[in-house]
Structure 1
Amino acid sequence: MNEDIMLTAPSSGGLASRVQCLMRGFGLIPHDLIASVARLSIAAVFWQSGQTKVDGWHVTDNAVYLFQTEYKLPFIDPWVAAHLAAFAEHFFPLLLVIGFGSRLSALALLGMTLVIEIFVYPDAWPTHGTWAVCFLTIIAGGPGRLSLDHLISRYFGRES
């Protein structure tokens, strides 16, 4: 173990040294745990949103109506936008859960989040910022060892 990150507090330590020891301990939280929580939690958010847009295998009329009246995305037909959103909100979360193509899936959903923030709900930036942190954690650090990406990279001799 690295001596800089030891969890034992100095014997002469008071409250300050104990807090410092605790802060160093936070650095021991494994990225695999953080990435797994990020992948699963953000996948659930988008999956649940996707479920509101479909009835079985069909995009609902209500979803198309929302894209016509409330979302009003520029440059794209509401029918096409509803179908693309329903697909993306099911496909990319599924990939995140199994950890396959995780960085690209996170990037795709981050792009979708930016579109939502800029064109649909600009006042929801605290929520979208929280989502972005999950995506950026996956993009920057990878999906962790509990993923198909990791197994594939080990098979081919590369780290994820």
Structure 2
Amino acid sequence: MNDQIISPKCGWAVALFTRALGWLECIPYTFLAIPLRLAMATVFWNSAMTKLASWDTAIALFTDEYRVPILPPELAAYLAVSIELTTPILLVLGLATRPAAAVMLGMTAIIEVFVYPQAWPTHIQWAAMLLVLLARGPGKLSIDWLIRQRMLGNGR
């Protein structure tokens, strides 16, 4: 039936496309997880560095612009910087990747809902990357994978 739909003139293009899809589908998840981990680590790390460059400005932002509900601005700033300093390191190492991704996803949701709702195109990209890491983990090039292998008795 495909022979009737696809003209012989396009056969080479279909074969090339099919071969390319096969190659793409063979890429190990580990190699896909690395840029996800590094991208999200960079976003959060850079945010921490900006806050630490001028702590007074950071507190002013949390007081005047961010206005996270319930939390006092100083506490919100300390919590944000603590998350932005620790979770990127965990992602880069591939250590506690799923909990780190969950915390980052929670922080992203708070930023989206309470601080910058108009930035949803960026936040949905962050959420997509974090959801993949949450669902699939860091891949084999990670401390998490080494720990799991050791715990399962496969790390010999």
Residue type of the alignment partner of 1:43: A
Q: What's the counterpart of residue 98 of structure 1?
A: 93
- What is the CA deviation profile of residues 42-93 of structure 1, one whole-angstrom value per residue up to 9, with x for unaligned ones? 10110010111114xxx71111100111111111111100010011000111
Q: Say if 1:31 and 1:158 are closer, same or farther in 2 by CA, change over 3 A.
A: farther
TM (norm. structure 2) is 0.87
Q: What's the counterpart of residue 4 of structure 2?
A: none
| 1:83 alignment partner, one of 78, 83, 97 | 78
Aligned positions of 1:75-154 closer than 5 A: 75-154=70-149
SS across alignment from 1:68: helix
| 2:52 alignment partner, one of 54, 71, 74 | 54
Give the Å deviation of 1:158.
Answer: 7.1
Could you tell me how far apart the structure 1 residues matched to 2:153 and 2:44 are? 30
Larger-Rg structure: 2
Q: What's the counterpart of residue 64 of structure 1?
A: 59
Could you tell me how far apart the structure 2 residues matched to 1:134 and 1:158 are? 30
Could you tell me how far apart the structure 1 residues matched to 2:67 and 2:83 are? 18
- Equivalent residue pairs, number: 145
- What is the CA deviation profile of residues 13-66 of structure 1, one whole-angstrom value per residue up to 9, with x for unaligned ones? 3212321221232111110011111111110110010111114xxx71111100
Could you tell me how far apart the structure 2 residues matched to 1:27 and 1:141 are? 16
Q: What's the counterpart of residue 30 of structure 1?
A: 28
Give the Å deviation of 1:103.
Answer: 0.3
Could you tell me how far apart the structure 2 residues matched to 1:24 and 1:114 are? 36
SS across alignment from 1:74: coil
SS across alignment from 1:13: helix
Please identify runs of 4+ aligned residues in structure 1 that moved more than 3 A. Answer: none
SS across alignment from 1:52: helix
The structure with the greater share of residues assigned to helix is 2
Residue type of the alignment partner of 2:32: I
Q: What's the counterpart of residue 7 of structure 2?
A: none
Residue type of the alignment partner of 1:130: Q
> Among the aligned pairs, what percent are the same residue?
41
